[in-house]
Amino acid sequence: MREIENAIAAAQVLSFRLPMLWAMAFSPTPERRAEAVRMIAEKQMAVAEGLNAAALSALATWMKLASGQSVSASTAASRMVKAATRPGERRMRANARRLSRRRKV
C-alpha cells in the first residue's frame, strides 16, 4: 500500500514541479528561485538523513551480531533499505500535500 501512495505522491510532485521549473527557466522571480533552491536542498537533506539512518541500522545489526543474537541477512538488508528511503518518502508525500495547496506557478 505504501508503494502505491509513494507512486501517487511522486507523480503529483512531478506534475506540480515541472511547470515551476519551466517558469523559473523562462521568467525567474525571487519566489521561483527560492522554490528551485528548496527543491535541491531538500533532496540533499533527504539523502544525508537516509545515509545516516542506513548507517544506524547497520550498526544496530552489527551490535546484535556482536552480542551473539541471530540476524537474517535479508532482514538486515531490508531494514537498512527502509531506513535509507524513509526520509525521501516522507518529504515526497509532504511536498505533494504542500504543492497541491499552491495557487500559482
pTM of the predicted structure, to 2 decimals: 0.76
Q: pLDDT tens-digit profile of 66-81?
A: 999 998 999 999 999 9
Domain region containing 49:
2-100
3-state secondary structure of 28: coil
In a domain, 65, yes or no: yes
CA end-to-end distance (rounded Å), the chain? 31
Please provide the average confidence, as pLDDT, over all residues in the chain: 90
Query: What is the DSSP-derived secondary structure letter of residue 27?
Result: S
- DSSP symbols for 30-94: HHHHHHHHHHHHHHHHHHHHHHHHHHHHHHHHHHHHHTT----HHHHHHHHHHHHHHHHHHHHHH
Give me the percent of the chain exceeding a pLDDT of 90: 60
Number of domains in the chain: 1
Q: Are 7 and 15 in contact (CB under 8 A)?
A: no
Q: pLDDT tens-digit profile of 36-75?
A: 898 889 889 999 999 999 999 999 999 999 999 998 999 9
In a domain, 22, yes or no: yes
